[in-house]
């Protein structure tokens, strides 16, 4: 496999667009922010924008396209959200109906795309602080869980927060809070430290999305709000159509990670 960690975001988007790269984007274009995607029709765009504003831990917005435009003018002016993600999921009335590598055939003239910050940015920051990331060590997707934490409703949108989990050594937990709090645009500080059951996660070995990872003796499960929350919300809210990225298959932006740090 070619090492794409130092590749340019525009180059990667072009490869993805030409179907030369169909795989999870973790570890690609290091130093550049990647984004979750949600696409909705205009009739639901205000409600969803409000949902993101009210639930900014789960849905911190990096960019929103103009109505009918597939170009994220701020995050990647030469990008196209219809083609530049390796794998998409199409939800119709809350049901996952299709998984495709290009959504051009689903695109409508009144659609709006929402690019939502992704934890890859703060994972780099954790690694730079010598805090281990288990799912990277184990070469799998981060485990994600439906919690019992209600999102704040906005119009039709309601449901529970999805959280990702990283086992953190006891001695590093405080530093992990500090490091990730610098980046509110990519979920910021954790939403929970410790006992999974306290947030409704009954079996840490059975994530609802992604893969299970090992929690070693002396490690604490630490949970962050997750950009897969909109997919869970879509399943509950059942809009006529909602298109998202497939978990782990993100939109690679031109935004430098460090520019998202508030301090």
Asked if residue 167 lies in contact with residue 219, where contact means CB atoms within 8 angstroms, the answer is yes
In angstroms, rounded to a whole number, what is the distance separating the alpha carbons of residues 65 and 40? 11
Q: How far is the CB of 202 from a copy of itself (least distance, A)?
A: 30
Reference 183, options 221, 246, 126, 230; nearest CA is 126
> Per CB under 8 A, does 53 bind a copy of itself?
yes
List the structure tokens of 244: 């998202």
Q: How far is the CB of 133 from a copy of itself (least distance, A)?
A: 22
In sequence order, the β-bridge partners of residue 41 are 111
In angstroms, rounded to a whole number, what is the distance separating the alpha carbons of residues 5 and 8? 9
> Per CB under 8 A, does 70 bind a copy of itself?
no
Q: How far is the CB of 36 from a copy of itself (least distance, A)?
A: 15
Alpha helices by DSSP H, listed for the chain, are: 9-17, 42-54, 120-128, 134-137, 173-181, 229-237
Question: Which residue reads 């299970």 in tokens?
Answer: 212
> Per CB under 8 A, does 176 bind a copy of itself?
no
List the structure tokens of 122: 């703060």
In total, the chain counts a number of residues equal to 263
Q: How many residues bind a copy of itself (CB under 8 A)?
A: 20
> Per CB under 8 A, does 109 bind a copy of itself?
no
Residue among 7, 10, 14, 54 that touches a copy of itself (CB under 8 A): 54
- Residue 251 CA, distance from chain mean position: 9
Stretch that binds a copy of itself, among 177-185, 195-203, 207-215, 245-253 (CB under 8 A): 177-185
Q: Phi/psi at 74 (nearest 5 deg)? A: -90, -45
> Per CB under 8 A, does 10 bind a copy of itself?
no
List the structure tokens of 197: 């059951």
Stretch that binds a copy of itself, among 46-54, 92-100, 122-130, 143-151 (CB under 8 A): 46-54
> Per CB under 8 A, does 239 bind a copy of itself?
no
Residue among 7, 10, 50, 241 that touches a copy of itself (CB under 8 A): 50
Residue span 124-163 as binding mask against a copy of itself, x where in contact by CB under 8 A, dash where not: ----------------------------x--x--------
Query: Could you list the residues that contact a copy of itself (CB under 8 A)?
Result: 45-46, 49-50, 52-54, 61, 64, 66, 74, 152, 155, 178, 181-182, 184, 188, 262-263
């Amino acid at each position: 496999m070619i090492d794409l960690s130092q590749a340019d975001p525009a180059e990667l988007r072009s490869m993805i667009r030409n179907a030369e790269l169909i795989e999870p984007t973790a570890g690609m274009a290091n130093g550049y922010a990647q984004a979750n995607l949600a696409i909705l029709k205009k009739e639901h765009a205000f409600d969803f924008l409000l949902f993101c504003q009210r639930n900014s831990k789960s849905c911190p917005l990096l960019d929103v396209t103009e109505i009918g435009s597939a170009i994220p003018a701020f995050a990647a002016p030469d990008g196209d959200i219809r083609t530049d993600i390796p794998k998409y999921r199409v939800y119709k009335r809350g049901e996952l109906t299709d998984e495709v590598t290009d959504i051009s055939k689903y695109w409508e003239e009144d659609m709006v795309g929402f690019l939502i910050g992704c934890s890859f940015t703060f994972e780099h920051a954790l690694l730079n602080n010598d805090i281990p990331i288990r799912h990277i060590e184990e070469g799998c997707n981060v485990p994600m869980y439906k919690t019992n934490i209600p999102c704040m409703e906005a119009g039709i949108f309601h449901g529970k927060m999805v959280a990702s989990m990283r086992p953190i050594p006891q001695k590093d937990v405080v530093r992990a809070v500090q490091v990730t709090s610098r980046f509110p645009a990519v979920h910021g500080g954790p939403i929970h430290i410790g006992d999974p059951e306290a947030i409704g996660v009954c079996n840490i070995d059975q994530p609802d999305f992604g893969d299970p990872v090992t929690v070693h003796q002396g490690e604490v499960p630490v949970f962050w709000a997750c950009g897969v929350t909109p997919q869970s919300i879509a399943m509950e809210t059942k809009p006529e159509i909602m298109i998202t990225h497939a978990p782990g298959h993100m939109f690679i932006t031109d935004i430098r990670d460090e520019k998202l740090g508030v301090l």
